[in-house]
């Protein structure tokens, strides 16, 4: 009897090639497409100037997934998690924004939807294994970085438990992105040249500000130069800015670029400072909560990522009595409350947590929430 694998088919090139590779390896492959966002209720794509297309992206993705599955001769099932996505991911996203933080909803989508509800549905379909198109590896019981370091997605898998990672296959772990596209071209798949999805999963390619104002009211306020305490402009709402951001600041008359360094939610102030290496952008420790480890390793020294595209930095971990972790490091720029801090031991992704407090010299930075 062939082992049955249920593959999360997203309508993109990565999941398409994951299905191909699993068929080549002799598995019985079944596709499962998730619908997580109801465009008819949560924002109509039709006629949207941000998109300029006559079908919503999610339906287009489903049609592409269906075409791939027909081409490969595999079944495709479809499941709706619209309510659950709203309850566990989108609500979290909005609540974090209200607090002035910078959330990462994709991490929560993996934790609560793709590797929880999806797994349960896959088991209902008789799956021995579940596979996705993520760039990651499972080796010797450890979650490890993918071969393609530029596409590695272990950062987004950092909130998964050891149990959630059992019987998971990541077929793309040893491939470069270019190799994946070449395989898709060889099979003449409709997804071979399809652009990678960007931005937040449920927003897609839409304008972030136009989308968000449907759910959270704009509240403009002062932009303050933190070094002079002078009001130098107006922001359009604290939720639209993150630490280290330089674009979207309505400020003139400066020879050098200004960067967001902090927020005051109570007074609705956005703090900025001059220059990309301004000291106000740097910290040397943070407190991380919502800790999740996917293995038994608990090092006192390792490396960490504070954003998906950031470089690893050496850190020291102090395990606190309240279950949180104090993470110490040498001056790192733009560590941001609400973002994930993910721990690594060489190529092993140990897990991570959510940044609660950012500090310098043992004191909480007063200009960060």
Query: Residue 291 has what pLDDT?
Result: 98
Identify whether the C-beta of residue 170 lies closer than 8 Å to the C-beta of residue 131: yes
Beta-strand ranges (E) seen in 18-166 are 28-35, 75-80, 129-131, 137-139, 142-144
Question: How many of the other CB atoms lie within 10 Å of CB of 246?
Answer: 12
* pTM more than 0.85: yes
Domain-terminating residue out of 274, 291, 319? 274
Please give the span between the terminal C-alpha atoms of the chain, in angstroms, as a whole number. 56
185 within some domain: yes
Residue 105 and residue 189 in one domain: yes
The residues pairing with 293 across neighbouring beta strands, listed in sequence order, are 351
Structural domains in the chain (count): 3
Asked if the structure places residue 340 within a domain, the reply is yes
Residue 352 falls inside a structural domain: yes
Same domain, 137 and 233: no
pLDDT per residue as tens, the chain (369 positions): 799 999 999 999 999 999 999 999 999 999 999 999 876 655 544 445 445 455 677 889 999 999 999 999 999 999 999 999 999 999 999 999 999 999 999 999 999 999 999 999 999 999 999 999 999 999 999 999 999 999 999 999 999 999 999 999 999 999 999 999 999 999 999 999 998 876 666 566 667 788 888 899 889 999 999 999 999 999 999 999 999 999 888 777 666 789 999 999 999 999 999 999 999 999 999 999 999 999 999 999 999 999 999 999 999 999 999 999 999 999 999 999 999 999 999 999 999 999 999 999 999 999 998
- C-alpha separations of 162 from 76, 216, 343 in Å: 28, 36, 15
Structural domain harbouring 248: 217-274
Model pLDDT, residue 80: 95
Position 47 scores a pLDDT of 44
Integer CA distances (angstroms), 329 to 286, 315, 336, in order: 9, 5, 14
Q: How many Cα atoms within 13 Å fall on the side-chain side of residue 348?
A: 15
Per the annotation, the verdict on 109 as an active-site residue is yes
The continuous run of DSSP H or E covering 211 comes out as helix 208-212
Residues 6+ apart with CB under 8 A from 74: 19, 23, 29, 30, 31
CB atoms within 10 A of CB 167: 17
| CATH code of the domain containing 240 | 2.30.30.280
pLDDT for 55 equals 62
Quote the pLDDT of residue 256.
72
- The one catalytic residue in 56, 201, 302, 341 is 201
Do 98 and 90 meet the contact criterion of CB atoms below 8 Å apart? Answer: no
How much is the pLDDT for 321? 96
Tell me how far apart the alpha carbons of residues 307 and 313 are, in angstroms, rounded to a whole number: 11
Candidate list 69, 109, 286, 302, residue with the active-site label: 109
Q: Is 341 an active-site residue? A: no
Are 135 and 166 contained in the same domain?
yes
**Alpha carbons 164 and 181: distance in angstroms, whole number:** 28
pLDDT of residue 222: 96
Considering 208, 230, 258, which residue would you say is the last residue of a domain?
208
């Amino acid at each position: 009897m062939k082992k049955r694998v249920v593959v999360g088919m997203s309508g993109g090139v990565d999941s398409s090639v994951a299905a191909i590779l699993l068929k080549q390896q002799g598995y019985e492959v079944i596709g499962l497409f998730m619908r997580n966002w109801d465009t008819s209720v949560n924002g109509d794509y039709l006629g949207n100037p941000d998109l300029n297309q006559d079908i919503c992206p999610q339906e287009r993705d489903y049609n592409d997934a269906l075409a791939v599955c027909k081409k490969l001769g595999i079944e495709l099932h479809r499941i709706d998690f619209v309510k659950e996505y709203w309850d566990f991911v989108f609500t979290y996203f909005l609540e974090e924004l209200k607090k002035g933080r910078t959330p990462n909803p994709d991490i929560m989508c993996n934790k609560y939807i793709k590797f929880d509800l999806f797994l349960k549905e896959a088991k209902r379909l008789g799956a021995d294994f579940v596979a996705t198109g993520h760039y990651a590896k499972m080796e010797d019981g450890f979650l490890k970085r993918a071969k393609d370091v530029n596409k590695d997605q272990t950062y987004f898998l950092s909130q998964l438990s050891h149990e959630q990672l059992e019987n998971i296959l990541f077929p793309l772990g040893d491939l470069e992105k270019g190799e994946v596209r070449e395989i898709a071209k060889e099979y003449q798949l409709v997804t071979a040249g399809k652009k990678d999805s960007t931005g937040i999963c449920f927003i897609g390619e839409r304008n972030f500000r136009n989308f968000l104002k449907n759910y959270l009211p704009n509240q403009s306020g002062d932009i303050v130069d933190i070094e002079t305490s002078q009001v130098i402009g107006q922001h359009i709402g604290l939720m639209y800015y993150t630490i280290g951001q330089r674009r979207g600041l309505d400020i003139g008359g400066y020879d050098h670029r200004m960067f967001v360094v902090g927020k005051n939610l109570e007074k609705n102030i956005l703090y900025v400072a001059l220059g990309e290496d301004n000291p106000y952008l740097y910290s040397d420790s943070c407190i991380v909560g919502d800790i999740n480890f996917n293995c038994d390793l608990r090092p006192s020294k390792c490396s960490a990522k504070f954003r998906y595209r950031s470089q690893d930095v050496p850190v020291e971990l102090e395990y606190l009595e309240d279950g949180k972790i104090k993470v110490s490091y040498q001056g790192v720029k733009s560590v941001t409350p609400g973002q994930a801090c993910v721990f690594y031991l060489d190529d092993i992704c140990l897990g991570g947590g959510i940044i609660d407090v950012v500090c310098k010299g043992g004191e909480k930075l007063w200009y960060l929430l």
